[in-house]
Amino acid sequence: MDAIPLFFLLGFVARLARSDLKIPGQLYEALSIYLLLAIGLKGGMELARQDALALIPQALSVMALGAIIPLIAFPVLHKLGKLDRFNAAAIAGHYGSVSVVTYAVAADYLIARSTEFEAYLPLFLVLLEMPGIAVGILLARMGGDFRSVRWGALGHEIFLGKSMVLLGGGLLIGWVAGPTGLAPLEPFFFDLFKGVLCLFLLEMGLVAASQAPALRTSGVFLAVFAIVMPIFSATLGSVLGMMIGLSAGGTLLLATLAASASYIAAPAAMRIAVPEANPGLSITAALVITFPFNILIGIPLYDRIIGLLFGS
Amino acid sequence: MRETHPCKLVVMIAEAAIEDSLARDVMRLGAHGYTVADVRGQGSHGVRRALWGADRSIRMEVLCDELTSNAIVDHVEKHYFDHYAMIAYVSDVGVLRPGKFQHKD
């Protein structure tokens, strides 16, 4: 068993048991800044070793995946789940976007098993962040009033939101500076990464448990969706990973990205663009069910599926 | 006791997601300024512990004259009350330097 997901469980159980353990909001901010920058830098550094132009077809197909997932999730939520258009679209948008921490846990899973993967995959993390959110918003506004959307504020939130700036900025810095330029930063950004990830997961456990009571009101359908949808998306991601020629490790990361649901960028964007949607529903699904499912069960499960696909 | 001048104190407690647009709105509606603090608490939208991004709440205070106070309250009632976790209240307070809080055209 990997140690890292256990920190999530510790936080989760501590909150349920009403421990006074609390991670200050400012530390949460600092940890998330560190993780986003470190992941961006690592990806950028590897990007510097690649022919960036050759990655364009891969990048475009990955962005298409981000747009397709909410298009599939939306009718399921709207027709099958009987959720109204706004809630169905907002939740679909969350599932089209990605969770950075889920990615980090999957990368650690591969490193712990000495499985090789394309280290430039944080590029896909950046590319997958936005399309799902955009499609979610379009679905919410389709046939309705587009004028009510504050496009300026929304564009600002999506493109200049914390996660985009830090991930994209880290990617650019890593790309420009390259491995030699980043060498002095390695002890801080790369060697300490796992420890910081553990602290962050401890915090996520506390947060997820504090949101858990909302499960009682969100309904069984959403709980089932929050488990079935990631498995379906991971399968899509696995097939795409194979089609675009990723290694088995890279395919697992892409599958995990497809399976993950955003709980940082998407909630902020959806609150501005689709205020009619109840944020409690999407956050409960993404954070209380899908996130723990992915890091505890999903990643090893997707690894099995990909193992079968790759025939090993 | 020191003499003060009557003024309105508009207090809005809302989810942090709308802090920027709320700040722009109150300035546009004639306020001279505002003060924002991070807060936590419980209301009809459940417990908000300020543990992470989507769970953060703010309290915005605006000292202004009655004209501005009415404009702000009408505006937030129309644009935010339906879909956001938010409350607003107005109280009468006494201020020094009343010129600082008159409606800005």
List the one residue out of A20, A34, A16 whose CA is nearest residue A205: A16
Residue A149 confidence (pLDDT):
67
CA distance A185 to B52: 27
A193-250 pLDDT per residue, tens: 999 999 999 999 998 998 888 888 888 999 999 999 999 999 999 999 999 999 999 9
Q: How many CB atoms lie within 10 A of CB A152?
A: 9
Find the CB nearest A272 among B17, B47, B82.
B17
Q: Do B84 and A275 touch (CB under 8 A)?
A: yes
List the one residue out of A134, A103, A126, A128 whose CA is nearest residue A172: A126
| Beta-sheet strands, E only, within chain B | 5-15, 35-39, 41-43, 46-48, 57-64, 86-95
B50 interface with A at CB cutoff 8 Å:
yes
Nearest CA in chain B to A281: B45
CATH architecture under which domain B5-93 falls = 2-Layer Sandwich (3.30)
Residue A271 confidence (pLDDT):
86
Residue A147 confidence (pLDDT):
67
Per residue of chain B (105 residues), what is the pLDDT tens digit? 789 999 999 999 999 989 999 999 999 999 999 999 999 999 887 788 777 777 889 999 999 999 999 999 999 999 999 999 999 999 999 999 988 888 777
The reported pTM is 0.88
ipTM over the 0.90 cut-off: no
Residue A60 confidence (pLDDT):
95
| Tokens describing residue A88 | 């169905």
List the one residue out of B11, B4, B57 whose CA is nearest residue B34: B11
Q: What does the DSSP 8-state code read for residue A98?
A: -
Residue A49 confidence (pLDDT):
86
Q: Do A268 and B53 touch (CB under 8 A)?
A: yes
CA distance A291 to A297: 10
Contacts of B54 in chain A (CB under 8 A): 263, 267-268, 271, 279, 283
Residue B24 confidence (pLDDT):
94
Residue B68 confidence (pLDDT):
95
Residue A129 confidence (pLDDT):
86
A261-295 pLDDT per residue, tens: 998 888 888 888 888 898 889 989 999 999 999 99
Which portions of chain A are predicted below pLDDT 50?
Answer: none
| Tokens describing residue A285 | 């699904």
SS3 of residue B104 by DSSP: coil
Domains of chain A: 22-310 (1.20.1530.20)
